[in-house]
Chains A and B, each alone.
Chain A
Amino acid sequence: MAASIVFDNVSKRFGPVTAANNVSFTVEGGSFFSILGPSGCGKTTLLRMVAGFDTPDSGKIYIDGQDVTKLPPNQRPVNTVFQSYALFPHLSLRENIAFGLKIAKKDPSFIRQEVDKMLSLIQMEAIADKFPSQLSGGQRQRAAIARALVNRPKVLLLDEPISALDLKLRQKMLLELDLIHDEVGITFLYITHDQTEAMAVSDEIAVLHQGIVEQAGRPCELYESPKSSFVAAFIGDTNFLDGTVSTTGVEEYSQLHIEDFPEVLCYNDKKLSPGELIHLSVRPEKIRISLERPPEHTLHNCLQGTVEDVVYKGDHTKYWVRIGGHRLGVTQQHSRFLLDIKPIEWKDEVWVRWHADDGYILERYDAVDEKLVEAPSEKVGSIEDELEAAEEEAEQ
């Protein structure tokens, strides 16, 4: 049975900065668990507290049911893959991998056998006697993983282990990590700022923002039902719509009043009553776009607007549609040969529609998070203005 990790009301401050604010969540034993967040959100601090390099100001951390909060790093059943790999420069690859077993005073023949096993797992038997400075980035990364895994830790901690590699290698290493996880079957705690990385490999993700766990759950839960505007905007792309509940009508559906829009229908799982302020998140790929008026459907929201921007990406196109004071981002997947179809162009009058189930009402909304949504600028130079404004808001 693989070891679980439990964060129980963990808080940590560094001077004026709160790195972790009452963090509580559980990492299931044997899972590939990611802590995802922008830089400076405190995710590395959480990992360092599991490894034992930092101790929480308050709260407890349990590994496999054992309270490890005060345990020094060399007595914890975890091993870490560092962002900088931290391979010992004066030791060969083989000696690097053997380091932990030597410290544990294991039998030399056992060490040799285990190191050989690891070398074959990472496919580096041929270069076992090279030194870290002679290895490529990807090789160093695998060496760091092997050096940690050879000790058979209960939990493997990975601190942005592939962020130093270039894009193609990063994608390959990510899949390799997943393979290694399947092979060894222990708990992986993976720290990253890259949401695509986290989505691709994780069983579960905790989204961390300013020291607070915004939401934890399976990747598709986070994507489909984000609790906060931060999660909605940080994971994937979205449209934010603000409005009020006008009527709570048939079944669980409610009519929403949004400025410049006709009444919008939405699934009201939050049981809000008329007059309440709501923030709706609608993913761009859930919105359909067409030149002709679509057939009527009771649960569809159907709106008319003008195409303001078209970004063609090959497999899909992103349209920006102006409806009154709003700009809606809409992505259209191209599953047919595009040259046979009349394309949607700039200034075209179009119809956009989405199913009432596809708009999701957020529990928490913060206007700053709209800056995370990728949108073309309104005028030249406005990018700088927006960035400056975002920075100022962040400072306040």
Chain B
Amino acid sequence: MRRFREWLLTLPSFGWLLFFFFIPACIVYTFAFKQADITGTTLPGWSFNSILTLFEKQTLVLAWRTVWLCGITTLISIFIAIPMSLHMALSPPALQRKLLLLIMIPLWSSFIVRIFAWKIVLHPEGFVKGALVYFGLIEKSTPLLYNDLAILAVMVYSYFPFAILPLYSAASKFDFHLFEAAMDLGATWQRTFFTVYLPVMFPAILTAGLMVLIPAAGAYVIPEIVGGSGSEMLGNIIARRVLLNRNLPEASAFSLLLSALIFVPAVMISRWRTSQIKRYN
């Protein structure tokens, strides 16, 4: 009876996952094995043509660029978020709430508007470029916009709040007596940070990484707006296949590839977690 009641309670969430995640994903992936029709629908029967396009050289280049852009975005975000979250957790509670608010406020305005704002910031006539040229840090001909670096900067800006949140929540639960204990045992502050804080925070760091990696991998607006012609990501090609080419099978095939790219690290992290839980309990 109790079992039954438990089932009854979890049923809605299972239903939600089934109808709004599992079935739609299956539909999307199924389309990858169909053949495109010129009118934007699919022809009857099955085909591997779309899947085969994944193994073309230009797809691999695109996939690799997506991987390294997302990877570096994730790394930079974590590097910024770790000291920031630590600082927040060590602040007085009232200040903690204010800092958290400051991080959340940009998320309340439109994503597109914020990216266009970056276009103004990095514009060839903009003040950032002017200042950098004035101090002789860059040449007047060095472009700030429409390249991989611009994408990277905007991606880090857009997604690192997602890294702050899990890291801050873990850091605020961190037992700072461990710092005192380590220093009491002769460790310096730096040593304590690397031998105690980072290892204890490692699960949260992984979560933060995933929180950045997943939206970053699907990004297509950012490369569309601040990227150049040679800095497309998988997200762009999917959007183009759906919106311009009306080629749903190819769009699905690229989605399958993108899912696979995220699936691998996600599964690795989840398996590592399970092994840790077994180890400590």
Contact = CB atoms under 8 A, between A and B. Distances in A.
Nearest to A104: B186
Given A82-B177, A84-B177, A89 B183 contact: no
A87 B181 CA distance: 8
Contacts of B181: 80, 82, 86-88
Contacts of B139: none
Nearest to B188: A74
A79 B185 contact: yes
A151 B175 contact: no
B174 to A, nearest CB: 10
Contacts of B187: 74, 99, 103
Contacts of B199: 90
B178 interface: yes
B98 interface: no
B177 A103 contact: no
B185 A100 contact: yes
Query: What DSSP secondary structure best describes chain B's contact surface?
Result: helix
Given A103-B186, A147-B185, A73 B200 contact: no
A134 B277 CA distance: 11
Contacts of B175: 84, 86
Nearest to B192: A74
B13 interface: no
B37 interface: no
Interface string A40-82: 0000000000011100000000000000000011110011101
A151 B183 contact: no
A133 B281 contact: yes
A261 interface: no
Nearest to B202: A90
Contacts of A151: 185-186
Contacts of B280: 89, 131, 133-134
Given A74-B188, A103-B187, A86 B180 contact: yes
A57 to B, nearest CB: 20
Interface string B185-208: 111100100001001101000000
Contacts, number: 66
Nearest to B191: A103
B171 to A, nearest CB: 15
A80 B178 CA distance: 12
Contacts of A52: 183-184
A147 B183 CA distance: 13
A82 B185 contact: no
A131 to B, nearest CB: 5
A73 B281 contact: no
B177 A86 contact: yes
B57 interface: no
A24 B179 CA distance: 29
A71 to B, nearest CB: 12
A52 B188 CA distance: 13
B182 interface: yes
Contacts of A53: 180
B246 to A, nearest CB: 53
A112 B218 CA distance: 50
Interface string B32-47: 0000000000000000
Nearest to B185: A100
B177 A73 contact: no
Contacts of B279: 131
A93 to B, nearest CB: 12
Nearest to A150: B185
Contacts of B188: 74
A74 B180 contact: no
A100 B180 CA distance: 13
Given A52-B184, A86-B180, A151-B185, 5 more contacts: A75-B186, A79-B185, A86-B175, A88-B181, A88-B196
22 contacts: A51-B184, A52-B184, A72-B183, A74-B184, A74-B185, A79-B184, A82-B177, A86-B175, A86-B180, A86-B181, A88-B178, A88-B181, A88-B196, A89-B280, A100-B186, A103-B187, A103-B191, A133-B280, A134-B281, A147-B185, A148-B184, A151-B186
Interface of A: 51-53, 72-75, 78-80, 82, 84, 86-90, 99-100, 103-104, 131, 133-134, 147-148, 151
A-B complex: 7 closest residue pairs judged by Cβ atoms: A100-B185, A86-B181, A86-B177, A103-B186, A90-B199, A73-B183, A80-B184
